[in-house]
Amino acid sequence: MSQSRIILTLNSGSSSIKFALFEEQGEAERLLSGLVEYQSGGAVLTTRTPDGVSKRMVIETGSKTGNAHGEMIRHVLSFVESHEAGRDIGAVGHRVVHGGPHFEGPARINDTTLAQLESLVPLAPLHQPPSIAPMRLLMKEKPNLLQVACFDTSFHHTIPTVRTRLPLPAELLEGGARVYGFHGLSYDYIANELEARFPAIANKRVLVAHIGNGASLCALMHGRSTATTMGLTVLDGLMMGTRCGTIDPGAVLYLLQQKGLSPKEVQDVLYYRSGLLGVSGVSSDMRTLRENDADENVQLALDMFVERFVQQAGGLIAQMGGLDALVFTGGIGQNDATFRQAVCQRLRFLDIQICEDANLASRPVISRRSGGPTVLVVPADEEKTIFRHTRRIMEGCHIS
């Protein structure tokens, strides 16, 4: 009897590729997770098993072309094939930040799909190309391998038009300019976790806070996205690690017209030099900021981070007509007790009451039994969502 196949998930960034292995017929439990980071002259491969055993190795590269994505995906495939000797990769699932108006769910990757993804590069210039590069390479080198695109935008297609239409002239919106929302793979996972673990609140009014270097909020009603803070691009909404979040559009004109910055320079400022880093002048890493919170600018950055959260959370809660549960996820959301405490303190008018010990320990439920909104900490797992979407496409394709 032949061995079951494995599903490989890829999350490709500009200088790294995160990956994970799952049993095709399994229950979304990882066989292995890993990270390949490309460096000049080589690559660093780090892996972790489900029981926490971690390994790190430096891999020499013979390429002189500077094709980082090509090198990284080859390292991933080489490692997977040696680690899972004798077992076939049944499919590869890719995280794709922007699916535009075309994709309301996962999609099989082919020439048509790739052309549509390429057309969305202007809406996600920093995120879309790294996602597309491994797809093209795999199509060339393994043309019979099923590849599936899983989109961060798809989960938000349930948001009503009154919240997705941009208030600009219609002729300027041609090409797909509208509010999309992102972090959808994370929110999809949280919605499923709520249904499985907290069914009493899964269909109520839930605000999910995905807070990391990138950050957004999503209002869930009956487990579906009804509003979110990110918009046409991942720049909108909350203040983030290096991104500005919502700002007066006149500030962009100011940078262009008064400061003389080029569009490329403005893009660099908004994506890479703003947010926690820009205000603090120290770091975008919350852990570093906590260590330096005596610095006046660092404290201002931390205060603004909470202030922007509360401001935008209030808007989404109003859109839902109230709040039954608040869920923290993402690197900061699930690990920074001080941030959670500060946010919940500011939202105490909603009768949110958290248990200090539970919060410090990052327990699944950190709220008191007060009758007010339930407050949860649920670690994000986008790879599991990619695995589930990919397997669904595999089953639909009836692959032998």
List 148's β-bridge partners, or say none.
93, 108
| Strands, E assignment, the chain | 6-12, 16-23, 30-39, 42-48, 54-60, 89-96, 107-108, 146-151, 205-211, 215-221, 224-228, 325-329, 374-377
Distances (CA, A) of 340 to 73, 96, 230, 305: 37, 29, 20, 11
Binding site residues for ATP, as ranges?
A: 18, 210-214, 285-287
- Tokens 């019979």 locate to 144
Give the tokens for residue 277.
């880093």
Query: Which H helix or E strand runs over 290?
Result: helix 286-291
Neighbours of 58 (CB within 10 A): 10
Query: In this structure, are residues 286 and 276 in contact, taking their beta carbons and an 8 Å threshold?
Result: yes
Assigned token pair, 284: 């975008």
Residues 6+ apart with CB under 8 A from 298: 280, 282, 289, 292
Q: Which of 51, 88, 152, 351 is catalytic?
A: 152
- Residue 152 annotated among the catalytic residues of the structure: yes
Name 292's Cβ contacts closer than 8 Å, sequence gap at least 6: 280, 282, 283, 298
- Spatial distance between the Cα atoms of 96 and 149, rounded to a whole number of angstroms: 6
Q: What residues form the annotated binding site for Mg(2+)?
A: 11, 382
Residue ranges of the annotated binding site for substrate are: 95
For 95-110, give one letter per residue: b (16+ CB within 10 A) or e. Answer: bbbbbbebbeebbbbe
Active site residues: 152
